[in-house]
Amino acid sequence: MYDLLIIGSGPAGISAALSAKARNMDFLWFGSRVLSPKIAKAERVMNYPGLPAVTGPEMCDAFLRQIDGLGIEIREERVNSIYDMGGYYTAVVNDKMYDGRTVILAAGVSNSREIPGESRLLGKGVSYCATCDGELYRGKRIAVVCTDSGLEEEIEFLAGLAAEVFLCTSYKDCGIRRDNVRHTVGYPTEILGEDRAMGIICGGETVAADGIFCLRSCVAPAALLPGLKAADGHIQTDRQQRTNLPGCFAAGDCTGRPYQYAKAVGEGNVALHSALEYLKKLEV
């Protein structure tokens, strides 16, 4: 059982991890050494204190030097879901699970809108994890929605299990070449089904499927952690970055605008200190 699980490696996650290290916390940090694609692609950042007119790659390099200098590990695994276990949280990463007394959500915002029917049928034929649930659909028909070419390894894995795959990607240059995969470029307008997912509508075509896999680099907050209060795609927090779930905190773009690095760093630090206060109360 860890003291803290940090989800996301943008400025908010970095800030939380640096403070957690300074406080000698026993924590796990999930993210990527790319840190944030948003930063990496930035031409110039003009308003970050201490780094005037810094380029995105220069800012990433500065962050990484500080992280590596302190010996902080970024666990490069994608968290598929988090569950409130009543006193602690469990993060599901493919076929592995990690427990933490507190969690800080700093995973940014999803650029992909939720598909109508997605949340309602999550766990009822709709899944976010190929490794966790792929075996359930061996020899069956599935539909896969993918918004990130970096996740095509998971599509390959699913295609090796399923009899037929209807693949919808939001990008054109898809690298999947399999006889049992039919690919279309587009984004679904609906997932069909009442008590269980039965199919999908994409590009005006209705396709029956036994299961639907939604593969995105960033999962919508309410879908990532059931019971989490969100509005307009953002996690609701108070001034201490507390969410409606005890021991769960959020920071950065996922809490709402403005989407600025300095704001995210400040919120990450506040979230960490709120997590510390929460842990102290548990010890009383």
Burial class (CB in 10 A: 0-12, 13-18, 19+), 33: exposed
Task: Please give the order of strands across the beta sheet that includes 181-185.
Answer: 126-127, 211-215, 141-146, 164-169, 181-185
Mean pLDDT over 248-260 rounds to 94
- Structure confidence at residue 148 (pLDDT): 85
pLDDT tens by residue, 8-66: 999 999 999 999 999 999 999 999 999 988 888 888 888 889 888 899 999 999 999 99
With beta carbons less than 8 A apart as the criterion, state whether 9 and 37 touch: no
Q: What percent of the chain has pLDDT over 70?
A: 99
Residue 123: per-residue pLDDT? 84
Confidence band (pLDDT; 50, 70, 90) for 231?
A: confident
Mean pLDDT over 203-225 rounds to: 86
Query: What is the model's pLDDT at position 47?
Result: 85
Q: At what angle do helices 56-69 and 11-22 cross, to 10 degrees?
A: 20
Span 207-225, mean pLDDT? 86
More confident residue, 222 or 203: 203
pTM of the model: 0.82
pLDDT digits (tens, 9 = 90+) for 169-180: 999 989 999 999
Question: For the packed helices 11-22 and 261-283, what is the interaxial angle rounded to 10 degrees?
Answer: 40
In this prediction, residue 284 has a pLDDT band, given cuts at 50, 70 and 90, of low
The predicted model gives 199-204 an average pLDDT of 93
Amino acid at the residue 35: L
Mean pLDDT of 91-104: 93
